[in-house]
């Protein structure tokens, strides 16, 4: 469908900026941005910029009407998505989610209720009497996880190991909830996984599944990723145990277009899911699906924002069982003001590096927040095999450095690559398995080439 000359308002999207720009250049779309401040990445792609509090619904609606904007596109920021939903509904413009659907999907309690109804395994919740938190603390089986029902990016999420800490941690989570609601659930020390589905007018495909290797220590609970590894070593087990029920649940909840991310754990061969996202998400997994399968959900959602239609031409090539190992390496910061960064530009030149997000530049201050705001550098890597992937991760961890204004090292990530595995998935050996595996992907690639030539 032709979007040439259409005017697209982009909110947020700093970390998606080059992908937004690629779409605009390919299809001739005019990019407009609005906000109170703009990153260098956003300045580089915007043809028009307007200073505006985009959470002010009336002001945002006025801008859209005055500037003849055809569509609104938002990255992964939930506050910006919420504002865009209200404004596009008021103006009768396309957006992938309605207000009712968004509120339903973003509530962790409603999500877990739906899981139980559709046979998707989920975490055990504990009933809490807010009028007597001390008494509730006595009834729990520790450790537990306390979290706001309506927040993201690990904000307000805490592990509680003993009853003496429960009340303070519960009230902390409550302060971090937009609605003042908190959920308390069992602690699961299994392996974290994330499953992405793409929806085109009710047709659902599994786009990717990753294993999340997290960082933590004995004194704190920081479930932040050091590595996202694709495809998950548990993908076949997931397809066998959960996939069909998960698809049915998402359709039953009302999802028809867009992309969902399902977060859970696997332990002793069994899955439990604890929340979902209905947005592109910070993992930018579409970079891998495009590189491996030719499917880019960000570009599909940009088209939807302008036309109200999710283009489905490439969806038949969606295949979460990638034919190459892919890893997102996150280098986390201990916090402080950045004085010097080394090695990033050299790393961009590596042929296996798809993209690098350098989220903080020299002079920026990184907060000590226990959330995703402590992610400094993110590197997207596609290798030919496990051995090469480990070599790349070790090299990048050793060569990329960040120092604060006092000359002290800021990066705290050093992932142990001996832990990295893709299970029984074979990328470079085992003749029968690899021939079948590559044949399936070669057929898909051939079909794509024919479709492009048609």
Residue 4, pLDDT score: 97
Place of tokens 């029968």: 432
Residue 139: what are its φ and ψ, rounded to 5°? -90, -10
The domain defined by 191-429 folds into D-amino Acid Aminotransferase; Chain A, domain 1 (3.30.470)
Residue-level pLDDT at 222 = 52
pLDDT score for 430 = 33
Report the Cα 304 to chain-centroid distance in Å: 19
The kind and range of the H/E element at 253 are helix 243-253
**Rg of the chain taking only CA atoms, in angstroms:** 22
- Show the tokens assigned to 139: 């009834």
Distance, in Å, from the CA atom of 445 to the CA atom of 428, rounded to the nearest integer, reads 19
**Homologous superfamily of the 124-186 domain (CATH):** ATP-grasp fold, A domain (3.30.1490.20)
Number of residues in the chain: 454
Task: At 10, give phi and psi (nearest 5°).
Answer: -110, 125
Distance (Å, whole) CA 74 – CA 64 = 14
DSSP 341-389: EESHHHHHTSTTEEEEEE---TT-EE---SSGGGEEEEEEEE-SSHHHH
The ranges of the chain with pLDDT < 50 are: 218-220, 429-454
CA angle 51, 5, 91 (to 5 degrees): 55
- 186-206 exposure pattern, b = at least 16 Cβ within 10 A, e = fewer: bebeebbbbbbbbbbeeebbb
Instruction: Give ∠ CA 425-19-454 in degrees, rounded to 5.
Output: 75
User: 46, 328 in Cβ contact below 8 A?
Assistant: no
Q: What is the pLDDT of residue 152?
A: 65
Round to the nearest angstrom and report the end-to-end CA distance of the chain.
16
Give the tokens for residue 276. 């979902």
pLDDT of residue 5: 97
> Which DSSP helix (H) or strand (E) runs through 220?
strand 220-230
pLDDT in tens, 386-435: 999 999 999 999 999 999 999 999 998 889 999 999 999 988 543 333 33
Please state which CATH number belongs to domain 7-95. Answer: 3.40.50.20
Spatial distance between the Cα atoms of 106 and 112, rounded to a whole number of angstroms:
11
Per-residue tokens: 331: 């280098």
Handedness of CA 148, 150, 151, 152 (dihedral sign): positive
Question: Who contacts 172 (Cβ-Cβ below 8 Å, separation ≥6)?
Answer: 146, 156, 158
Q: Which long-range contacts (CB under 8 A, 24 or more apart) does 270-273 make?
A: 270/121, 270/241, 271/121, 271/193, 271/234, 271/237, 271/238, 271/241, 271/242, 272/121, 272/122, 272/123, 272/188, 272/190, 273/115, 273/120, 273/121, 273/122, 273/123, 273/242, 273/246
pLDDT digits (tens, 9 = 90+) for 144-156: 999 998 876 567 8
Tokens 């609005």 found at: 34
Q: Rounded distance, CA 260 to CA 118, Å?
A: 17
């Amino acid at each position: 469908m032709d979007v040439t000359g259409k005017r697209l308002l982009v909110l947020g999207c700093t970390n998606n900026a080059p992908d937004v720009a690629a779409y605009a250049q390919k299809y001739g779309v005019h990019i407009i941005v609005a906000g109170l401040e703009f990153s260098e990445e956003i300045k580089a792609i915007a043809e028009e910029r307007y200073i505006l509090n985009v959470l002010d619904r009336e002001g945002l609606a006025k801008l859209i009407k005055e500037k003849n904007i055809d569509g609104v596109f938002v990255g992964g920021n939930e506050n910006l998505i919420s504002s865009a939903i209200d404004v596009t509904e008021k103006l009768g413009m396309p957006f992938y989610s309605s207000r009712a659907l968004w509120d339903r999907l973003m509530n962790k309690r409603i999500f877990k209720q739906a899981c139980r109804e559709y046979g998707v395994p989920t975490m055990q919740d504990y009933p809490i009497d807010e009028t007597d938190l001390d008494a509730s603390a006595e009834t729990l089986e520790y450790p537990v996880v306390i979290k706001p029902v309506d927040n993201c990016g690990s904000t307000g999420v805490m592990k509680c190991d003993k009853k003496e800490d429960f009340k303070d941690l519960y009230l902390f989570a409550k302060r971090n909830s937009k609605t003042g609601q908190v959920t308390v659930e069992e602690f699961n020390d299994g392996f974290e996984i994330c499953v992405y589905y793409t929806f085109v007018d009710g047709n659902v495909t599994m786009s990717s599944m990753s294993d999340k290797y997290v960082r933590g220590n004995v004194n704190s609970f920081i479930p932040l990723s050091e590595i996202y590894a694709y495809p998950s070593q548990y993908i076949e087990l997931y397809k066998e145990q959960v996939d069909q029920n998960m698809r049915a649940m998402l359709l039953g909840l009302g999802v028809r277009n867009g992309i969902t991310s399902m977060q859970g754990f696997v332990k002793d061969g069994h899955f439990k899911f604890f929340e979902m996202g209905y947005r592109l998400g910070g993992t930018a997994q579409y970079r891998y699906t495009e590189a491996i399968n030719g499917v880019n959900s960000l570009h599909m959602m940009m088209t939807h924002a302008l036309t109200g239609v999710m283009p489905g031409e490439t969806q038949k090539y969606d295949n979460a069982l990638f034919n190459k190992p892919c890893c997102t390496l996150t280098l986390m910061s201990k916090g402080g003001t950045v004085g010097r960064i080394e090695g990033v530009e050299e790393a961009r030149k590596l042929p296996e590096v798809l993209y690098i997000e350098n989220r903080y530049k020299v002079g920026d201050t990184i907060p000590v927040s226990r959330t995703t705001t402590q992610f400094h550098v993110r590197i997207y890597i596609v290798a030919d095999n496990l051995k090469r992937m480990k070599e790349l991760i070790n090299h990048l961890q050793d060569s990329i450095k960040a120092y604060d204004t006092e000359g002290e090292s800021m990066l705290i990530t050093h992932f142990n690559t001996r832990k990295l595995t893709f299970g029984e998935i074979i990328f470079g050996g085992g003749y029968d398995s690899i021939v079948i595996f590559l044949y399936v992907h070669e057929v898909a690639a051939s079909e794509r080439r024919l479709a492009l030539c048609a």
